[in-house]
Amino acid sequence: MAYALSHLDALEAEAVHIFREAVAERERPALLFSGGKDSAVLLRLAEKALRPGRFPFPVVHIDTGHNFPEVIAFRDRAVERLGERLIVASVQDSIDAGRVVEDNGPRASRNQLQTVTLLDAIAEHGFDALFGGARRDEERARAKERVFSHRDEFGQWDPKNQRPELWNLYNARCRKGEHFRVFPISNWTEMDVWQYVARERIELPEIYFSHQREVFNRDGMLYAVSEFVQRLEGEEPFTETVRFRTVGDMTCTAGVKSTASTLDEVIAEVATADITERGATRADDRVSEAAMEDRKREGYF
């Protein structure tokens, strides 16, 4: 009888291999968890790779203090269900300590401030590998990342000086103080993620599905009304049926009009989308064509 893997089986097998390889090669890994769909898939893949034992690493969340409350509630439920250790690094703590300075005004965002909080957490806990849910299909800087992506002693990434990766051979050697960002689902697409969520029946924050919400229009995007976002003159709130394709800081993450309330309906919607999830919903990626790459060079996710 012929034996063939489905494309999801093949992607899952590759991700499981990456998890096991990183855990075997590095002493102090951690898993970065935003509370989004890619992070939720990472947790399921970690279970496939490492159960029945506990994860040999903690789950780390960088909390801007301006997150969607539904996502924070989901984060806590997910980690409690797994019985794993959660480390929360707070951007507010970085502000209070004078490590970063918060901008003011209607377009102020804490999103970029996360970099300092993340690098401080890496140094404090001595992490030498951090699993992340970035995918190459999201945008051009993430498309350049290696699966085992080296960061220097300052947490910086040099896209012009990356290590070759041949087939599934990864180079995980680094000096003390350096670390790796490891991307087990780098080769997945947004559609792969949604199909895997459906196959594995993975719970997600409810904001991924259509719901009625008070929003306002800024630069053609629909932002949720919240205490964290100061509206400009003329940005009047109204109620719209929306869902979110990404989850992030409320100050830079927008929703899209959608009636997709089930996994099948979301998958059908993604299949016909003609703009990427980040292009459709993330103001921080509209600053410039190289906005993400600039942030990643400094140590961003």
DSSP string, 94-112: HHHTTSS----STT--STT
Report which residue type is found at 151.
R
Q: What is the mean pLDDT of residues 234-260?
A: 94
Instruction: Please say if the pLDDT value at position 42 is more than 90.
Output: yes
CA distances from 63 to 10, 36, 52, 112, 163 (A): 33, 13, 29, 12, 31
> Could you tell me the pLDDT band of residue 112, with boundaries at 50, 70 and 90?
confident
DSSP H/E element including 147: none
Instruction: Please say if the pLDDT value at position 4 is more than 90.
Output: no
Residues 275-285 have pLDDT tens digits of 878 776 777 66
Instruction: Please say if the pLDDT value at position 289 is more than 70.
Output: no
- The pLDDT score that the predictor gives to residue 16 is 98
CA angle, residues 298, 249, 143, in degrees to nearest 5 = 50
> Could you tell me the pLDDT band of residue 300, with boundaries at 50, 70 and 90?
confident
- Cβ atoms of 133 and 42 closer than 8 Å: yes
Q: Cα(231)–Cα(102) distance, rounded to whole angstroms?
A: 17
Q: What is the mean pLDDT of residues 119-124?
A: 97
Instruction: Please say if the pLDDT value at position 139 is more than 90.
Output: no
pTM above 0.95, yes or no: no
At 77, give phi and psi (nearest 5°).
Answer: -65, -45
- Cβ atoms of 121 and 62 closer than 8 Å: yes
- Cβ atoms of 277 and 138 closer than 8 Å: yes
Q: What is the mean pLDDT of residues 21-43?
A: 97
- The pLDDT score that the predictor gives to residue 277 is 80
- The pLDDT score that the predictor gives to residue 287 is 58
Q: Are strands 254-257 and 238-243 parallel, antiparallel or unpaired?
A: antiparallel
